[in-house]
Structure 1
Amino acid sequence: MFYAVLAYHVEDTVQSWTPGEDAALMKDLLEVNDRLTREGKLGPAARLDATAKAVTLRGPGDGMVIDGPFAETKEQLLGLYVLDCANQDEAIAAARDLKRVNPTAVYEIRPIMLYLPGAPLAAG
């Protein structure tokens, strides 16, 4: 079954990291990613850009585009992983590996009801 692992963090904290601190964390996260990929569990993963650059589409009909996500929380969604795991316990174990190297992040693990892989995209 596919699971989405949604990575939340306090955006101001992430943006306060020096390039070296950010690179060190990404190195550790990529080691977990590489292992999950070798195990055939990791699908698409993405680090999202700043919420200040986001827009939200809401409302009836064509909807209205408004600036940014306005969550009632300290943490913002900053990234996501798609995992192919036998069960929720296996997905939680993978998320715990991510949390070990990024302990201040919050990870939501949610089953995916519909998975459409789409076309492979070239890294941009």
Structure 2
Amino acid sequence: MSEVKQQLWYTEEHEWVQRTEDGTVRIGITDFAQHQLGDIVFVELPGEGATIEQGAEIGTIESVKTVSDLFAPVTGTVLKVNEALESTPELVNESPYEKGWMIEVEIGEDVEKALSKLLSADQYEHLTANE
């Protein structure tokens, strides 16, 4: 069974979103997604300062099995990229919610409004239970 954290929000494309203390959000892929992908060997992410649009492709994640697109769960500006993933992409497998986070984003609208468009942990658990 994959781990789903209660304090996060989720997308149907298996990204998670965590609200940070300074009003930005941190984004990564879920434990379910990393299990489905297998061993992660490469992560391509947008650069700092890039503008991302909710639902749009923002990068790719490559495993020994496949290459998958990453999608923006929110609209905003990338403030920080997890540079550790360049040399150690396997952090996504080892720690998808902590060390394997991907980007931090300043949301272009009210944070609560942006998060309300995403799935709760319970909704995401229900979604993945059927996959």
TM-score by length of 2: 0.27
Q: Which has the higher contact order (CA 8 A, sep 6+)?
A: 1
| Larger helix percent | 1
| Greater Cα radius of gyration, structure 1 or 2 | 1
TM-score by length of 1: 0.28
